[in-house]
Amino acid sequence: MSAVISSRHDALSADARSTVGALARVEAKRFARHPLFLFGVAIMLIPMGAVVWQQKLDANPMTGTLFIAFLFGVFGFIVAHRLTTSLLRTRDLAGTTPVGRQQRTLALCLACLVPAAAGGVVAIFMLVTAAIWTPVGDPVTAHVAWFRDDPAIDVLATLIAMGPVAALGGPLLGVAVARWAPFRGSALIGVVTLVFLTALPSEASNPWRLLSPWPILVDEYVNDGEGPIVRSNFVPGVEPIWVLFYLLCLCGLAVVAALVRDPGHRRPLLGAGAALTIGTVGFFLLALS
């Protein structure tokens, strides 16, 4: 009997990591093919195409990252929420398979790398086009809101924090919200809350704005007092690299929140959650120091 059983299961692998990997690939495909994500990509291609067509860059980094945060972060929140809740429909079936719900949720979290990667591509596009075609600025105000001689680490941290990480954090939050509040209206409530929290401290220079899910790190159109040319300026007293780590900790907390909903491995998850909470507070304070 046992020989029969083992021969039947030769092709099976109990390796949980490869199972999560296989599930994540399925979820990533579902994410990438979701109409709302594709709509976001299509909208994103319009300004990118315009830059290439005109062969000049007169936008500022704020605009590009705002597109990423909205089209991949906010839209991604909805997509991730929909993917998560739609899988809950099969709970009777999926609940009787050897792969646990936590592994399925983790796969959904990994699928959120799809919008993050899309945001990363756009951020790279911004860097490359800014290097090829030096931003010329607004012809009337002569404003050029692009980084000039700022430290590369700050520029990169800012672009990553406001771009790909925003595109990662929104969908991760969508998974977490769907796991805890899997009812139909929770996506709308989540999106409204997300946008409200982002828009609440309207002053970009307000350091408490860093607490929002999409902290604005650059204060555009700041005249440096040495002529008509102005450049993008970092919000005074803010260290972008620590903000990046702060946001990554928030992303980690979203993953923990999504995973801890299900039974199993709760103790290490709560430990990770505590460490991430300490990291979140610590990096926030460092960002302001």
- Which CB, 89 or 148, lies closer to another protein? 89
For position 93 contacting another protein by CB under 8 A, the verdict is yes
3-state secondary structure the chain: CHHHHHHHCCCCCCCHHHHHHHHHHHHHHHHHHCHHHHHHHHHHHHHHHHHHHHCCCCCCHHHHHHHHHHHHHHHHHHHHHHHHHHHHCCHHHHCCCCCCHHHHHHHHHHHCHHHHHHHHHHHHHHHHHHHHCCCCCCCCCCECCCCCCCCHHHHHHHHHHHCHHHHHHHHHHHHHHHHHCCCCCHHHHHHHHHHHHHHCCCCCCCHHHHHCCCCCCEEEEEECCCCCCEEEEECCCCCHHHHHHHHHHHHHHHHHHHHCCCCCCHHHHHHHHHHHHHHHHHHHHHHHC
- Which CB, 102 or 232, lies closer to another protein? 102
For position 264 contacting another protein by CB under 8 A, the verdict is yes
For position 223 contacting another protein by CB under 8 A, the verdict is no
Find the part of the chain contacting another protein (CB under 8 A) among 6-14, 44-52, 142-150, 217-225.
6-14
For position 236 contacting another protein by CB under 8 A, the verdict is no
For position 127 contacting another protein by CB under 8 A, the verdict is no
The site for another protein, by CB under 8 A, has a size of 35
For position 202 contacting another protein by CB under 8 A, the verdict is no
Residue in the structure block whose two tokens are 């700050």: 154
Q: Which of 38, 48, 57, 97 binds another protein (CB under 8 A)?
A: 97
Q: Which of 94, 117, 121, 204 binds another protein (CB under 8 A)?
A: 94
- Which CB, 8 or 184, lies closer to another protein? 8
Q: Which of 55, 98, 131, 139 binds another protein (CB under 8 A)?
A: 98
Find the part of the chain contacting another protein (CB under 8 A) among 39-47, 97-105, 118-126, 249-257.
97-105
Return the structure tokens found at 231: 């450049």
Q: How far is the CB of 19 from another protein (least distance, A)?
A: 5
Of 7-66, binders to another protein (CB under 8 A) are 8-9, 11-15, 18-19, 21-23, 26, 30, 33-34
- Residue 135 CA: distances (Å) to CA of 51, 67, 228, 241: 11, 18, 15, 24
For position 87 contacting another protein by CB under 8 A, the verdict is yes
For position 289 contacting another protein by CB under 8 A, the verdict is no
- Which CB, 56 or 82, lies closer to another protein? 82
Residues that bind another protein (CB under 8 A): 1, 4-5, 8-9, 11-15, 18-19, 21-23, 26, 30, 33-34, 82-83, 86-87, 89-90, 92-99, 104, 264
